[in-house]
Structures are given as structure tokens and as C-alpha cells.
Amino acid sequence: MLRHTSFFRRPATILIALLAFSSLLWCILMVLSPHGVESRVFYEQGRHWLGDFTCVRNCAAEGYANALQPLYDSCYPAFGVLVAGLFPREAALSFTVVGLLLWAVSFAVFLKRVGRMPLGLKAVFFGAVLLSGVVLHAFERGNQILYATAGTTLFLAWFDTTCAVKRRMALAALAGAAVLKISPALLIVLLAVRLRDGLKDNLRSVVVDVVWFGAVGALLFFVPFAGVGGVEGFRQWLANAAANAARYAQCGAWGVVPIVRTLRIVRHQDVMAAWPGLRLEQLVGAFLGCGCLAAAGWQVVKGRCAAAVNGRLLLFVVAALLLIPGNMHFYTGLYLLPVLALRLGEDDFGWFESACWFAILCPLQIPCGTGCLNHPIANLAFLALVGQAAISLFTNSRKYAIINT
């Protein structure tokens, strides 16, 4: 059993200390030069401050066919529109703070399950994460990703509990997150862990959970359209969402697209519009994401994970969540934070992985590129983490096969 004192000699502790130091340094620079790009990670020096709330609030006030913004910006499902509609137009900061608080509480609940990390270290880690790059970007945009990641984090904390009420709440939270952002629905594959651990006893329970998740998701997705234009509003939303996907295809934050986009920027080529060959790069990223999902399934089937879920299994699932749709903004890295929390408590967390996580979360990074927060270094670090996990899975599979022959 790993002693808590050993944490103070591990890469995990060094990473937490570096994140805390960089967060503190960012705060100092922000106070000294609040408008200097060198002192902040905010997108285009705050010119789009809380802009995502404004887009959703416009839909709440004027519907999906409104003249307040381009139609491709009116692409949020009705559930998120109704949530934003609870806040006045001038309450963008309140909407964002509420989302941040919900996420922070959910993450604190999740951290309780990481039993091998001392309480004091958890507190420092929690504070450092609050000022990490991905959290700062999500806060600056006023995006409902904060609400979605609150739901996914609560799901990860409670989905495997023996308490039926908590489990239902966890699945309802994930359903809400999936309605807000769609891709978090992939996390439901983790129910297969419970199914594998007790096939006879858990089969009925897992089936009930899946039905519950689907019912709550359908309710949250379809019913709110009654308050945002009805059937015609739903059709307009579909058209807007398709237009949004087409327009922002070149703005992916994870996978192959950011790498090619960065090369085009270096060569002074246009990246504001889709370029020839972009579809291939998107498909490569989606293919890698499907591979990560298959790797997660392989771990579950072969029983290569803990009784609930370990860090590498969750990394593969979240990697699929990010790579298959090629999520557009860097702050979708919020989904990775529970992965890091689990990995910090595992014995094989090494120096290379520590460096990769620092590259992803450090708040001192300067936005690079145009159109969105590209952060190519963070993307490369993320791909390196996935690659390392895949190599480890392959190596362990060979060892497992040798031992059993």
C-alpha cells in the first residue's frame, strides 16, 4: 500500500507544486498588467468576454431565427437556452459564476474518491486547477461547458455507487451534460465496468440505469423546444447546428487539425476558412478517437481496470469524447481533469506524464493562431498522453498473454 508520505517524493507532487506556482504567478501578472497579453490567457485580450452566454441568451429572447447574430451562432439545444433564459441579459457574469461553482462542487465531490492522495495535497491541487488554463478559458467565454462538465464530473463520482439514489442523480447529471454538449454521452460506456464486475447481479440494474439515462436525456432534449419555437424552432436549430459545424470545422482543438493548422499559420496560409484536405484530417482524428473507445472497451472486457474505473481507462473514454467530434475549443480540456485526479493517485504516474499535464493546464500559455484557442503544444501533450497509454496497454497485454500461456 502506498504511504501518503511518499507523495512528497513523486512526480505527482512536483506537478501539483508547479501548477500552484504558475497559477500564483499568473495572478501576480494579471494584477500588474491586466491588459497585457503576456499576463493573461484570455482569448484575444477579452474582446469576446462572456460572448457564449450572449449567444445563448439571444436565442432565449428571440428564438433560433433571430437577427441579433449569425444563425450559425444560434446552435445551442433548447435545454441550455432555457437555463440561460433564467438569467437577465446583463447577468452573464452571474451565469458563468454559477456554472463555475457547480463544477467546483462536483470536482470536490469527485476528489473524495481519490483516496491515496493526502487531504492537504488535494486542497492545493484543487486551488491550482481552479486557475488552470482550461478553467480560465471556460470562465472567460461564459460557456455552458462549465455546466456540462459539472454533470460529467458528478457522474464519474457516483455512477458506480451502491446507493441507487446517487446513481440515478449521476445518470441524470450526465444526461443533462449530454444534452448541453452531446459528446459526454460517451461516458455511459463506463456502466460496462459495473456490468462486468457482477454480470448476473448487475444486469438488471445496468439496464434500468441505461433506460433511465435515455429517458431523462430525451426529456431534457425535446421538451424544452416547446418553449423555444416548438417544432419549427427544432427545425431551425438543426439547420443552425449544421451551419455551425460547417463553419467551424477548421477550429478543432484536439487531434490532427490543430497540427495542420499550426503548420499553415507558420507558412502564412489562410486558416480562417476551411482548406483543401481538411476533411481527411478530421477523419483521422475521429478514427483515433474510435480507436481510444475500442481500447477502453478492451480494458473493460479483459478486466484490466479497478473495480470501478482507473485513470487510463477514463483517459481513453475522454480521448474518444474529444477526438471523435474534434471539439472546437481548448476549454473542453475540462473533461480531462478527473483523469488527472485519478492518475495522480496511481503508482505508474511518471515524469513524462507530469510534463504533459503541465503543458495542458499551465495558465501562462499564450493563445496561438486565429479563430479559437488553438494551443498546439497542449494538443501535442494530450496526444502524447494518449499514445503513452496505448503503448502501456499493448505492452501489458503482451505480458498478460505470456503469463497465461
> What confidence tens digit (pLDDT) does each residue in 109-165 have?
999 887 677 888 889 999 999 999 889 888 888 889 999 999 999 999 998 888 889
Q: Which amino acid is at 82?
A: L
Q: How many CB atoms lie within 10 A of CB 357?
A: 28
Q: Tell me the pLDDT band of 38, cut-offs 50, 70 and 90.
A: very low
| Cα atoms in the 13 Å half-sphere on the side-chain side of 31 | 5
Tell me: pLDDT of 244 over 70. yes
Cβ-based burial of 401 (10 A; exposed 0-12, middle 13-18, buried ≥19): exposed
What pLDDT is recorded for position 219? 95
Residue 3: what pLDDT?
47
| pLDDT of the residue at 252 | 85
Is the pLDDT score of 401 beyond 60?
Answer: no
Check residue 8 and give its pLDDT. 52
In this prediction, residue 238 carries a pLDDT of 92
Mean pLDDT for all residues in the chain? 84
Q: How far does the chain reach from its first CA to its final CA, in angstroms?
A: 29
More reliable by pLDDT, 4 or 321? 321
Contact 126, 107 (CB under 8 A): yes
Contacts of 159 (CB under 8 A, 6+ apart): 167, 170, 171, 174, 190, 191, 194
Percentage, residues of the chain above pLDDT 90: 42
Please give the average per-residue pLDDT across 381-400, as a whole number.
Answer: 81
Average pLDDT for 293-302? 86
pLDDT in tens, 326-382: 888 888 999 999 999 999 888 888 899 999 999 999 887 654 444 343 478 889 999
Tell me what pLDDT residue 320 has: 95
Q: How many CB atoms lie within 10 A of CB 388?
A: 16
Q: Stretch 191-218: mean pLDDT, rounded?
A: 82
Check residue 397 and give its pLDDT.
58
For the chain, the domains span: 4-403
Instruction: Give the pLDDT score at 35.
Output: 61
What pLDDT is stored for residue 1 in this prediction? Answer: 40
Spell out the residues 6+ positions from residue 292 whose beta carbon is closer than 8 angstroms to its own: 316, 317, 319, 320, 323, 386, 390
Given a cut of 90, is residue 28 above it in pLDDT? no
pLDDT of residue 368: 43
Tell me the percentage of the chain whose pLDDT exceeds 70. Answer: 86
pTM: 0.89
